[in-house]
Each structure stands twice: as C-alpha cells, then as structure tokens.
Structure 1
Amino acid sequence: MRSGVRDIYEELWQNNTDVAQQTLTVPFLQHMQRGDLQADDYVAFMMQDVLYLLTVTDLLGNMSRRPLPNDLKTFMQDRYQSYQSFSNYILDRFKLKAPLDIRPIPALERYLLDYRTIMDKEKPIFFAVSLLPCSRLWIWIANSLEESYCNAYFVWKKGNMHGNPEKHYKVLLNNNLKTPNQIKRANQIFRQQMQNEQNFFAASLVE
C-alpha cells in the first residue's frame, strides 16, 4: 500500500490474531496435530464442514444475483463460482447428493445464522468481510499445525495450507471501507466471524 494509506484488509487480521492463537489450542486441533484424533470425531467435523460449504455457497448465489456495484458484483460472482466448484468436487469426492439432511451442531447453527443476518441486514461489503475470517484462518491454522506426512490428518493440513485470499479481498475491502464507522463495523463483523470459527472448532471435540 502507498505510504499513509490504511491497509484495512491486513488490519482486520492483525486486530484478531489473538482469536487465531486461541483457536489453535482447542482440543480438536491439538489432537489432530498429535495424530490421535478419533476418526469418528473427524468424520463428524467434516460433515458439518460440508454443510457449512453448501450453505455459504447458496448465500453467495443469493448475493451474486443482487444489484450491486461492479466491484462487489464481480467479487460475489467469482466467490460463488469458486465455492460452487468446490462444493461439486466435495459432493462427488464423498459420493453425496445435495440437499443433505445434516443437522448443524449449535456452534455451526449460530455461525450460519450470523451469515444470514449479515446478508439481510448489513451493506453488501460487510458480507464480503464476513467471509474473510474463514479464508484467512484456515490457511493460518494449516500452516501452524506441526504435522508430518506420517500423520493421518496431514491431508487436512496439506489441503488447506495454500490459497491467496489477498487476491480476492484486499483491493475490494481497502476501496470500500473508508470511514471510521465502516472500519469499526468491519472489525466487529470480522471478530464475530473469527469467534464463530473458534467456537466451531472447539465444539468439534469436547473433552
């Protein structure tokens, strides 16, 4: 960024790294790192994650059909196409057929409700903000987990280590979040969704 120009994209992450650090310590991820996570707990987590993926894909489809400024329209359409493609891959990979009859655990139900509330009650730029915590956190967690190829859950680490959320979000957020009130609200929503991520991981294994 040019000198004197705030990088809101990066600020949102830096302001919430405490939640990221706390998330890394939850039992589910610690047992995954050690390789002794019970297989049924991992399967249950994955099924909830599939439900998350399909639901957020539908929400993005809704947003992509709304009248929006050009940059937001392009963002929503691109993200929808990406999520839709990945949804199709996951359904085929696990031989599943949508719609799935999966009940969300309370933590995920709360998370998805917050997405819907943001979509319906906030300006569209804040829905974009609400998507970013998942994109940044999962990459960070995957790179932070100390796992070797011998770990049965290295496949999760490997599958989530890479990605470039900056490409999709940085210019959009920095161009659309200018006023103190906009930046304050973006921070609130970002932290709320980071906390939803932590709650989801924490609820996936309660010891």
Structure 2
Amino acid sequence: MRYLGILAVAMMTMNVFGSDRSTSDDKRTKRNPRSDSRLAYHLESHRFIEAPLNAPGNGIPLSEYLWAQTASYRNAALNSGFVQGLKNATLDPEAFGNYMIQDSLFCYWVKNIIDLALKNATDPAVWNFLSATGESYKSYYESMFETWSIANAPGVKSGPALSRYLNQVRNVATTMDPIYVVVALIPCAKLWPWLGEQLNVNSSSFGVYDSWVKTNFGYSSEYKTYETLINNAETWGHIDRHRALEAYRGSMSGEADFFNIVKTV
C-alpha cells in the first residue's frame, strides 16, 4: 500500500511540475509567492526609496547586517532534507507532497495575516504592496488547493513548523509597523534564489522536481528593492535595527524550520 501511495504522489508531482524533460517555463508551474519578489515595484514610489541628503553613515547597511546575523539559518535550510533531497533528486514523493500541502496552508493563513497588516498601513505604497502581495498568496494557495484536493484549509492539520512560522508572521503584522512586514518578507525572497545559486540551478538537473526547482529557486533580484527601502527607512529613523532583526530572524528561522520538516534525504 505504501508503494501505491508513493506512486500516486509521484504521478501527481510529474503531472503538476513536469517530467525530467520539463523546462522552467512550464506554464503549469507557478512560482511560490514566498520567493517571488516581482511586486516590489509597488514600493518604488515610497519616500524611503530615496536616502535623505547628507545622511550620516550607519556603518554596515541594515540589509547586510540582517543577512549576516542569520547565516546559520540559511545554512540550515540549505542542508535540510528537503533541499538536499531536491538537489540529489532523491526526495521521497510523499515528503514532497506533505511539504506542498503544508506550504499551501501557510500561504492561505499568510493571506489572512496580511489582511490584518493592511488595516494599519497608512502609507499608500506599503498598502498597495501588501494588498498585491496578499492577492498573490491567494492566487497561489487557490491553485495549490485545487492541485492537492484541499477543500477546507482549517480542516487540514498544521504541523509544528507551520504553526511556529505563522505565529512569528502574525506577531510582526499585529504588533509592529507595517514596514516591518516588508522586513519579514525579505528572508524568503532572498533565501530561495540564494539556495538556487548553491544548487547551481541553471545548469543542474533535478529529475522529476526539475521544473519546480528551477521555477522557485531561479534567479531573482527584485528583493533588492525591499532592501533599499529598509536601509533608507533606518536612515530616516523609521526602522529600529533590533526590531528589524527580530522580524527578519523570525522569518529566516521559519524558512529553515519549514524546509527541515523533511528529516531524511
């Protein structure tokens, strides 16, 4: 029976994400909004995109500080059973299926959390960005619900990694200024392309997972707009470095925790 279950998930995986001959432009494969930072253009009109004239130097930019402070988490993500299983094309289809179901639930609940943050967003650029981001999460989870036959999200059991990550995102959205939600979104938007670099995604093959890996871990640089925003916001005195690290580290540890729901390669 277990063999039949694995076979069924493998067939579904091949149907949704393509076979070994799949390419990254397979229209059936959607980029996960956690790694898709193309909506960053909504932030380009924000007043903090421009640094104040004659601003005093703060040493290492905030974005570089946050990235350096969370190195252990991104390495934990890289060495996780999920990522290494993708790298070696040995990931158990059942483990992949479980990850995708948990991920679709994550996107469902994050959409609801972003809606909470919108209530406190008074800056038009941040409001537009969060609104568009929420719709992106909604479109993605609806697609995944259809793929994985999920009719009622609250009826699907949430794993501990999912619950911890959601609690962190909810805490940022409900207790901090909405600009810290942007901070909290940077780790996955920057981490996933970084993982792609470590996996040499453009010139490697990942078997049945090839299309998924190349779509989701492919090169993306739009997150740099997020980083420009938060760097300048700190210079303007609108972001506290310690609170930013709290939001950023929570998301980066959540990413590592999530990838590590797969314990074996």
Measure the CA separation in 2 of the matches of 1:102 and 1:42: 16
The Cα shift of 1:11 comes to 3.7
1:37 maps to 91
Q: Residue 63 and residue 9 in structure 1: after superposition, are their counterparts in 2 closer, same or farther (change >3 A)?
A: same
Matched, 1:58 2:115: no
Q: What are the superposed Cα offsets for residues 98-121 of structure 1, whole Å, 9 maximum, x if unpaired? A: 545221111110110111111111
Matched-pair contact (CA < 8 Å) for 2:105–2:153: no
1:186 maps to 244
Matched-pair contact (CA < 8 Å) for 1:64–1:73: yes
2:45 maps to none
The Cα shift of 1:85 comes to 2.9
Deviates more, 1:99-108 or 1:62-71: 62-71
Matched-pair contact (CA < 8 Å) for 2:189–2:223: no
1:172 maps to 229
Measure the CA separation in 2 of the matches of 1:94 and 1:87: 10
Deviates more, 1:67-76 or 1:152-161: 67-76
Q: Residue 136 and residue 181 in structure 1: after superposition, are their counterparts in 2 closer, same or farther (change >3 A)?
A: closer
Matched, 1:158 2:214: yes
Q: Give the TM-score, by structure 2 length.
A: 0.67
How is 1:46-195 mapped onto 2 (pairs within 5 angstroms)? 46-94=100-148, 96-97=150-151, 99=153, 101-146=155-200, 148-149=204-205, 151-160=207-216, 161-166=218-223, 168-178=225-235, 179=237, 182-195=240-253
Measure the CA separation in 1 of the matches of 2:72 and 2:209: 25
| Higher percent of residues as helix | 1
In percent, how many aligned pairs have the same letter? 25
* Aligned partner letter, 2:260: A
Measure the CA separation in 2 of the matches of 1:170 and 1:18: 20
Matched-pair contact (CA < 8 Å) for 1:33–1:146: no
What is the alpha-carbon root mean square deviation over aligned residues? 2.8
Q: What are the superposed Cα offsets for residues 46-103 of structure 1, whole Å, 9 maximum, x if unpaired? A: 1011111111122223323444222321221232232233333334444544545221
Measure the CA separation in 1 of the matches of 2:89 and 2:264: 17
Query: Gaps spanning 5+ residues in structure 2: where?
Result: 1-49
How is 1:192-203 mapped onto 2 (pairs within 5 angstroms)? 192-203=250-261
* Aligned partner letter, 2:229: L
Matched-pair contact (CA < 8 Å) for 1:142–1:156: no
* Aligned partner letter, 2:209: Y
Measure the CA separation in 2 of the matches of 1:89 and 1:23: 25
The Cα shift of 1:190 comes to 0.9
2:15 maps to none
May I ask how many residue pairs the two structures share in their alignment? 207
Q: Give the TM-score, by structure 1 length.
A: 0.83
Aligned to 1:152, the other structure's residue is in SS state helix
Measure the CA separation in 2 of the matches of 1:173 and 1:68: 17
Q: Residue 75 and residue 181 in structure 1: after superposition, are their counterparts in 2 closer, same or farther (change >3 A)?
A: closer
- Structure 1 or 2, whichever has the larger Rg, is 2
